[in-house]
Structure 1
């Protein structure tokens, strides 16, 4: 079936190159996930705040390795790009940032993130989100990035606002969390 628009980002624009590592100011590095990061993922997902805002939990390193394999396949399938946020010196995992739900034809994706409990309060998340956003909207050529979070997650809202994602609206009762349905803020940045 012929397309009526020229794709903004052609098929192969991501998978045609290795997923990059992105240096971030303040001694951080965004790098592709490795299977040996599984123990850190399990440790992070023991945190009650992580469990409050996410729909799954990791109970074993084997399960976390399966997640990491799925995150790695996202790049190969050009549907997502997931990075570990690490300390550039020690390589310790401090968080995660990802572009998900990638739509190449329109140059669109959804950004998501979390910060390890031991790294909170130091601007790790906002610096990682800013780095991925700059890379995606600049170097790669995405047109629009969306960011969604529970309307009661004020920490996530602060990250969105601090990184220039403008709130566009509220999706009422849009996501089922373990404590019930949550309204979701929708933020976006456009190139």
Structure 2
């Protein structure tokens, strides 16, 4: 069966190039692909109680983090997901993570995900990183819609989404199982043309 419309983003558009690094508008942050040397930082992030509270995945070891980073490269080549380290543009210190998951090039959609390390919280890292990612996804790649969701109990993530221009669209009731039980999830989205 064929579609009545062509793909929003032609297959091969991403995998034909190297995953880019992207500076934030203010030049203070850089989103860059993860490197094998970052495995200890990634593993440490999932030991942080705040990240552990809101993310349902765990990393057992630095070796497992290294394998996840290797999978990032495969995911880019397969055009199914992309992940970046958010770094300080000057010193290169890792501040957090930004990701596009569940990429659907046919429909031009993807799901955004992020976390910020404890020392970088409260400094606008997540909203600036999310805006940088969204600008690239819309302007350079041609995505039509980016979505994100977070627990209705995660007020910080809600502020990040709003500051980055992701409009609240509704609540998915009892949608994700966390360590403390089922959570309702706030749904946000930004579409091509939103400011």
> Equivalences for 1:88-127 in 2 at 5 Å?
88-127=89-128
- Provide the residue aligned with 1:14 in structure 2: 14
Deviation of residue 99 (structure 1)?
0.6
Deviation of residue 90 (structure 1)?
2.0
**Gaps in structure 2 of 5+ consecutive residues:** none
Q: Normalization by structure 1: what TM-score?
A: 0.97
> Equivalences for 1:36-55 in 2 at 5 Å?
36-55=37-56
Q: Does 1:2 align with 2:27?
A: no
Deviation of residue 110 (structure 1)?
0.4
Q: Does 1:84 align with 2:85?
A: yes
Deviation of residue 172 (structure 1)?
0.5
Q: Normalization by structure 2: what TM-score?
A: 0.95
Coordinate RMSD, CA, aligned: 1.0
CA distance in 1, matches of 2:22, 2:173: 35
CA distance in 1, matches of 2:138, 2:93: 27
- Provide the residue aligned with 2:190 in structure 1: 189
Deviation of residue 26 (structure 1)?
4.7
SS in 1 for 2:113: strand
SS in 2 for 1:134: helix
> Equivalences for 1:162-181 in 2 at 5 Å?
162-181=163-182
Deviation of residue 59 (structure 1)?
2.9
Q: Give the count of matched residue pairs.
A: 191
Deviation of residue 88 (structure 1)?
1.6
SS in 1 for 2:13: coil
Q: List structure 1 segments (4+ residues) > 3 angstroms apart after TM superposition.
A: none
- Provide the residue aligned with 2:137 in structure 1: 136
- The one-character-per-residue Cα deviations of 1:135-172 (angstroms, maximum 9, x if unpaired) are 11112110000010001100000001111111111000
**Gaps in structure 1 of 5+ consecutive residues:** none
